[in-house]
Amino acid sequence: MREDIFKQESEKHESYGVLGFSRVTTSPPVNLFGSSIKHGNLICMRVKTAKRNRSYQKDWIMGDETLIEINMSASQFADAITSMNVGDGVPVTISYVKGDTWDEKKRQYRDAPPEVDFKVKAQGELKAEMKEIAERIDELAKDAKEILERKGTTIKAGEKEKLLKDLTFLVQEVRSNIPFAHECFTEAVERTVIEAKAEVDATYQTMRECLGDKVIAEHKIEIPVLGEGKKE
């Protein structure tokens, strides 16, 4: 029998790497960059250097050193694999890069991103927009009243030009900018609902993998469905 058939070889190269995805459950839920809710179920992507081992006439690809680890929500992962060539990409949370130091107190390599409530933020921006318009209207009304109530003097060209400019600005705000701001607010709310539904689906999938459909059915575990009202 040929001994070289059973000979084991190992090969490494700077271009060799492996890419892997896994489901991760966290408790308590954590913030993710670009997401408006906390997540207890993550999609983790790891990129590692790799080596190729050969034995018994087969190649065995093995991961070696972790280069980067990235966390995503279920909806971010779906966007990443279905929305190619769109902008710079989908927001993700970098949890580890080669060279990072482990923080024993925080039990993590990198701090989680700060919490951002996009719904509250969009609502605040819409209020600020409306406040600015209200102030411009008050200023226009004050200027117009002062000019019109003035006796014995015709309206100057500069005053007329300023009034027309302010009126044009307000018309533009009412016709275009306010609807656009409202549209952005609506999108922020809808995005939050989509993320929440995806998180519920991910939680259910985790339960199925851990407990099994039979256990869920036997114990009558109900999985809430967001966006659906109670049926009579």
Cis preceding-peptide flag for 28 (omega within 30 of 0) = yes
- Stated as kind and residue range, the H or E segment containing 75 is helix 74-82
pTM > 0.85: yes or no: no
User: Nearest Cα to 74, choosing from 32, 46, 125?
Assistant: 32
Q: 42 or 174: whose pLDDT is higher?
A: 42
Task: Report the pLDDT value the prediction gives residue 120, as an integer from 0 to 100.
Answer: 76
Q: Which two tokens stand for residue 175?
A: 């016709």
**C-beta separation of 210 from 52 below 8 A:** no
Task: Report the pLDDT value the prediction gives residue 157, as an integer from 0 to 100.
Answer: 79
Mean of the pLDDT values across residues 202-231?
A: 55
User: Nearest Cα to 186, choosing from 112, 118, 106?
Assistant: 118
Q: 45 or 219: whose pLDDT is higher?
A: 45
**What is the sign of the dihedral through the CA atoms of 169, 170, 175 and 176?**
positive
Pairwise CA distance, residues 211 & 192, whole Å: 28
**C-beta separation of 55 from 13 below 8 A:** no
pLDDT at 98 over 90: yes
pLDDT at 232 over 50: no
Q: What's the N-to-C CA distance of the chain in angstroms?
A: 76
Long-range contact pairs involving 204-211 (C-beta distance under 8 Å, separation at least 24): 205/23, 205/41, 206/23, 206/25, 206/41, 209/23
Instruction: Output DSSP code: residue 86.
Output: S
pLDDT digits (tens, 9 = 90+) for 126-171: 788 788 888 888 888 888 888 777 766 677 778 778 888 888 887 7
User: Model confidence at 116, in pLDDT bands (50, 70, 90)?
Assistant: confident
Mean of the pLDDT values across residues 22-43?
A: 88
Lowest mean pLDDT among 61-65, 82-86, 111-115, 227-231: 227-231
**C-beta separation of 56 from 76 below 8 A:** no
pLDDT at 231 over 50: no
